[in-house]
Structure 1
Amino acid sequence: MGFEIFKESYAGSIRPITLGKGDKAVTVGGESCLPLYKFEGEMPNKPKIAMEIWDMEPTDWSEAAKKPFEDVLGDPAAWAKKCVEQYGAEMIVLQLKSADPNGNDASPDEIVKKVKNILEAIDVPLILWGTANVQKDEEVLKKVSEACEGKNLVLGPVEDDNHKGIGASAMGFGHAIISSSPIDVNLAKQVNILLENLGVPNDRILIDPTTGGLGYGMEYSYSVMERIRMAALLQGDDKLQYPIVNNLANEVWRCKEANQSMDDAPELGDPERRGILMEAVGAVTYLMAGSDILIMRHPEAIRMVKSFIELIMEGGAASDVAPIEKQLADVDIDYAAMSPEPDLKIEEEKKAAPKKAAPKKEEKKAEPKKAAPKKEEKKAEPKKEEPKPAAEEKAAKPAEDPEAKARAEAEAKARAEEDAKKKAEAEAKAKQEAEAKAKADAEAKVKAEEEAKKKAEAEERAKRDEEERKLLEKRAKEREQLHKKREAAAEKPEALSPAEEQKSHLDKIVERLDRIHRRV
């Protein structure tokens, strides 16, 4: 019996969705296995790449990103046409940057005019990506949806705050929508439920889980996409069985590392290759997480990622993929000058070499300071008192005893100081008690919040554990049934029939001896 690899069975599949119209329409989704696991299920439609354009000339792009489109950056229609005809774009994504209320704040009528010009210039599906301002996006996308009825556009991002307006408009005028949520499985599911309750057809929804460009953002996005795919395929959650779209280019190319020049960061290498590789690596990462549509910018990064998709889906050798073709001047970086001096000593030699003690500096003894000669103080000569007349002596006598008066004043001052001291101590004590009470209240509040958080996490963990337990039990039953099936097949007696020519006992002995000798 030949070796049979165990294959995971999936409870659900991703819904296929068709975007655009005519011969250039694109279908995404439809897979019945985890991302790129073709040995366990079907992936009838390859992941697609949509090229990004802006509806206004970008001012903050790096030279590497501008160079392929430098002649069309001010004309969105010409830009889209170049992407399709020269770079083979399968879809176009129009970033509605000019509509941003914090920027140019273009009116819906201006956006409609630009969209119509682009639709006349291309015949591939068009995706409109708003500003993430829920009010302005609803206002603009509703207007565009009405003006482009029947063009099968893709409108997004749609959030829970504007899903009613955009969703109703998309249904009425025949467009698909992108439901967006901030890196959270439950929120993604909630927006999809709201759209389904509104009446949006299941074959008109895409999921945007929010895309991170680098670092923690990419890790969070990857883990959320992974959980969405596992819930959709392994647990059969029909609220998450939609294709996923990642707005990658907008995130990668605004990272600091993608825009630093050679003078700013020579240790990061060639700025042109750096940005291209950052976008390509991010795209491959999201493909492995389950992305069906990748929104990308640089043609070289797109070429490399398309090659990766072909290698995974059709096979081939990665060595056949051409290296990055530069369009900017090459750079010369002296890495040797930036590197530290190599330490070529062997560790044992370092330990054996005695450490030379640093020579001690002789400390100069401080010379005793000579005492400065004391100046002779002149004794003040007592002043001779002139005799006063009797009338003046009588007037000079105080009416009260000065010692008693001074004593009374000193006692009054001491009492006042003591009262002030007691008052200050009482105020400080009251302040301290108030601070202690406030601190205790804050700590109690934090403790209560932590307990509530722990309780919620425990409940979520218990729920997840229960789901995993049920899933494991289901898989165990399936394996047991498979094992029983195999045992039943093995237990069936194999029918034996006698040979036409029977060998003698001696012939059998000789045959066995020959076989044994051959083995030895």
Structure 2
Amino acid sequence: MGFELNKESYSGGIKAISIGKGDSAITVGGESCYPFHTFEGDMPNKPVVAMEIWDMEPEDWPEPVMAHFKDVVADPAAWAKKCVDDFSADAIVVQLKSIDPNDKDASGQSAAETVKKVLAAVNVPVIVWGCANPSKDEEVLKIIAEACQGDNLVLGPVEEANYKGIGAAAMGYGHAVIASSPIDVNLAKQINILLENLGMPMDRLLVDPTTGGLGYGLEYTYSVMERLSMAAMVQGDDKLQFPMINNLGNEVWKCKEAKQTLKEAEVLGDPEKRGIMMEAIGAISYLMSGSNILVMRHPEAIRMTKEYIDALTDGGSLQDSKPILKVMEEVSVDFAALAPPVDLTIAEEKKAEPAKKAAPAKKEAAKPAPAPKAEKVAPPKEEVKAEAKPEPAVDQEAQAKADAEAKVKAEADAKAKAEADEKAKAEAEAKAKADAEAKAKADAEAKAKAEADALKADAERREEEEKALRRLRAQARAAAEDAVVSASAVEETVTAAAVQKTDQEKIIEMLDRFHKRK
């Protein structure tokens, strides 16, 4: 019987979204299976690797990554062109760092000019990423959307606090948006629904689940992205069937470990290779959880990531992949010299040693005992005294030896006790720290869940109110229509009075009636 591969069946898929315009446009998404599971479905479009540039000169980039861009960081357009021409970037992400109100607080007009220069310099799709300040992002992205009308930019992040303004501008001027939520499935779905209710076309929507760096929340983001993919593929939830984007490079290279020099963290090895591997490992992890667009920074990390994508989609081996190309001087770290000295002595052996050595000491001290028996046959007293002189010397030597061994044993016991106490203390501190972290994580998850539930309940309440209002309006319209129909159906009949009076007679009659009432 031949081997039969167990295959998963999918009721849904990811929508195919086009970004950019004209010949430079690219399509992301469109898969009908889990990432790279092409034996179960189709994956028509490979994941895209975009390179980030800043609209201002970075001040805190570490030397291993700054070495590749130090000649162009002062000019965003030249920077973007180098990323495309020299490093084969599939798209460019303009990080609007200068507009942050807590930094330079640059204007929307200056940001729009920068984006227009980048568009003129490259022929790949351009993504514009704000500073994550909702009000400032709304103000600036609306100006950029108008200034770059028809260029099909991708604008983000769009949050619940600013989705109306940015969404309306994107719809009006022909751009796509990035719906951003704080690492939560329910909140990701909620912002998608809000944009859909606003009227945003669903073929111009990308999802940002909020990206964590390696060692700084990657596993949390990974699990949420997995759940988003499962909901879209297996459960067929059409509110979550959108390509995902991860702003990875910005997160990895601001980590402490990626910035530390060899002198600051020698045990972490070569700082250049360290940062590259952190970014490449993060990229591969997010690809396996369903990422369609990776925003990256270091050229070598990008090269390795693209080779991995090609190997999984087109087949082949990575054994011939080139090692990391360094631009800084070679670093050699003697890890053996940095390691603490190895003590292979077992604590139980140290404790047992004094007891073994003390036993023969007692036997040696007992050897002079037969001397008194010789007094009966020995003639003079002087000889007896002379023979008895060595006895105290032997006893004294044995006692000194026993004292030394006892001292060694006591020191070994004290050292073992101190080590045990220190180990117990370290274990207690580690347990307390783990408990505190677990409690903090549980509290954060509970808070996020409570907020999501509250948002969901509020949305359901508003939806019910809208339905009730629509029902009332429908009833009112139906009643009005019935009234009109009834009125038109009734025919009024007018009969002439038997006695016809003049106007003067009618007035007199009315006056008489009024006077009578009074």
Same fold (TM over 0.5): yes
TM-fit CA distance, 1:332: 2.5
Alignment of 1:397-436 (within 5 A): none
Contact 2:55–2:94 under 8 Å retained in 1: yes
Instruction: Give the aligned partner of residue 342 of structure 1.
Output: 342
Equivalent-residue separation in structure 2 for 1:213 and 1:359 (angstroms) = 52
| Cα shift readout 1:199-225 (whole Å, capped 9, x = no counterpart) | 111110000000000225111101110
Instruction: Give the aligned partner of residue 85 of structure 2.
Output: 85
What secondary structure, in the 3-state scheme, does the structure 2 residue paired with 1:358 have?
Answer: helix
Alignment of 1:20-39 (within 5 A): 20-39=20-39
Equivalent-residue separation in structure 2 for 1:350 and 1:308 (angstroms) = 54
Instruction: Give the aligned partner of residue 358 of structure 1.
Output: 407
What secondary structure, in the 3-state scheme, does the structure 2 residue paired with 1:128 have?
Answer: strand
| Cα shift readout 1:330-389 (whole Å, capped 9, x = no counterpart) | 22322122112234568997797557542599xxxxxxxxxxxxxxxxxxxxxxxxxxxx
Give the residue type in structure 1 aligned to 2:247.
N
Give the residue type in structure 2 aligned to 1:224.
V
Equivalent-residue separation in structure 2 for 1:344 and 1:136 (angstroms) = 62
Does residue 143 of structure 1 match 2:143? yes
TM-fit CA distance, 1:37: 1.3
What secondary structure, in the 3-state scheme, does the structure 2 residue paired with 1:177 have?
Answer: strand
| Cα shift readout 1:315-344 (whole Å, capped 9, x = no counterpart) | 212111100000011223221221122345
What is the aligned-residue RMSD (CA, Å)?
A: 2.3
Change (3 A) 1:352 1:168: same
Equivalent-residue separation in structure 1 for 2:350 and 2:39 (angstroms) = 55
Give the residue type in structure 2 aligned to 1:89.
A
What secondary structure, in the 3-state scheme, does the structure 1 residue paired with 2:18 have?
Answer: strand
Contact 2:354–2:408 under 8 Å retained in 1: no
Identity %: 63
Does residue 177 of structure 1 match 2:180? no
Change (3 A) 1:12 1:254: same
Alignment of 1:134-283 (within 5 A): 134-215=134-215, 217-283=217-283
TM-fit CA distance, 1:26: 1.2
Change (3 A) 1:115 1:216: closer
Give the residue type in structure 2 aligned to 1:17.
I
| Cα shift readout 1:263-317 (whole Å, capped 9, x = no counterpart) | 1100000111000000000000101111000000000000000011111111212
What secondary structure, in the 3-state scheme, does the structure 2 residue paired with 1:69 have?
Answer: coil
Q: TM-score, normalised by structure 2?
A: 0.68
Equivalent-residue separation in structure 1 for 2:22 and 2:172 (angstroms) = 20
Instruction: Give the aligned partner of residue 106 of structure 2.
Output: 106
Change (3 A) 1:336 1:122: same
Instruction: Give the aligned partner of residue 18 of structure 1.
Output: 18
Equivalent-residue separation in structure 2 for 1:20 and 1:103 (angstroms) = 30
| Paired residue total | 368
Instruction: Give the aligned partner of residue 44 of structure 2.
Output: 44
TM-fit CA distance, 1:23: 2.1
Equivalent-residue separation in structure 2 for 1:347 and 1:359 (angstroms) = 13
TM-fit CA distance, 1:9: 0.7
Instruction: Give the aligned partner of residue 292 of structure 1.
Output: 292
| Cα shift readout 1:396-415 (whole Å, capped 9, x = no counterpart) | xxxxxxxxxxxxxxxxxxxx
Greater CA drift, 348-357 or 338-347: 348-357
Q: Unaligned stretches of 5+ in structure 2?
A: 356-404, 411-442, 454-518
Q: Unaligned stretches of 5+ in structure 1?
A: 362-449, 461-520
Equivalent-residue separation in structure 1 for 2:317 and 2:109 (angstroms) = 50
| Cα shift readout 1:59-93 (whole Å, capped 9, x = no counterpart) | 01100110000100110000000000011111000
Instruction: Give the aligned partner of residue 424 of structure 1.
Output: none
Instruction: Give the aligned partner of residue 123 of structure 1.
Output: 123
Give the residue type in structure 2 aligned to 1:238.
D
Change (3 A) 1:359 1:299: closer
Equivalent-residue separation in structure 1 for 2:243 and 2:339 (angstroms) = 47
Change (3 A) 1:26 1:353: farther
Contact 2:211–2:246 under 8 Å retained in 1: yes
What secondary structure, in the 3-state scheme, does the structure 2 residue paired with 1:246 have?
Answer: strand
Instruction: Give the aligned partner of residue 480 of structure 1.
Output: none
Equivalent-residue separation in structure 2 for 1:351 and 1:279 (angstroms) = 50
Give the residue type in structure 2 aligned to 1:10.
Y
Q: TM-score, normalised by structure 1?
A: 0.68
Equivalent-residue separation in structure 2 for 1:165 and 1:360 (angstroms) = 78
